[in-house]
Amino acid sequence: MTKSELIEKLSYNAGGLNKKEAEVVVNTIFESIGNALAQGDRVEIRGFGSFTVREREARQARNPKSGEIVSIPAKKTPFFKTGKELRARVNNGNGAS
């Protein structure tokens, strides 16, 4: 599902929402999650999962093309952990359309 498909589905299921309003809702949710993660906060959506930021340490790696050793700096990366209900739905194939 793409972002535009999500907007379409929200507009259809929310009854009184037109596509422009649904787009504002979706963009606000994504922006809020992104801002919270950028500040180092954890975002938990019960039944769906949680978003956190993980810190990856600096390390040495090998360039597969040249074989030369390169340094990879430390960085932060977003991480998503599924909730029990979402995991069960995916495993049982009970996705709502």
Mean pLDDT of 2-17: 91
Residues 53 and 80 grouped into a single domain = yes
Average pLDDT over all residues of the chain: 93
Residue 90's pLDDT band, with cuts at 50, 70 and 90, is: very high
- What range does the domain containing 66 cover? 49-91
CATH number for 57: 4.10.520.10
- Quick: pLDDT tens for 39-79: 999 999 999 999 999 999 999 999 999 999 999 999 999 99
Q: What percent of the chain has pLDDT over 90?
A: 88
C-alpha 79/C-alpha 41 separation (Å) is: 12
Residue 58 CA, chain-centre distance (Å), reads 24
Decide if 96 is inside a domain: no
Contact assessment for residue 76 and residue 54, using Cβ atoms and an 8 Å cutoff: yes
Residues 62 and 33 grouped into a single domain = no
Residues 35 and 59 grouped into a single domain = no
Residues 63 and 79 grouped into a single domain = yes
- The pLDDT value recorded for residue 16 is 80
Parallel, antiparallel or unpaired: strands 69-72 and 75-82: unpaired
In 3-state terms, what secondary structure has residue 27?
helix
Which residue, 10, 57, 16, 49, is CA-closest to 33?
49
- The pLDDT value recorded for residue 96 is 58
Decide if 60 is inside a domain: yes
Residues 34 and 55 grouped into a single domain = no
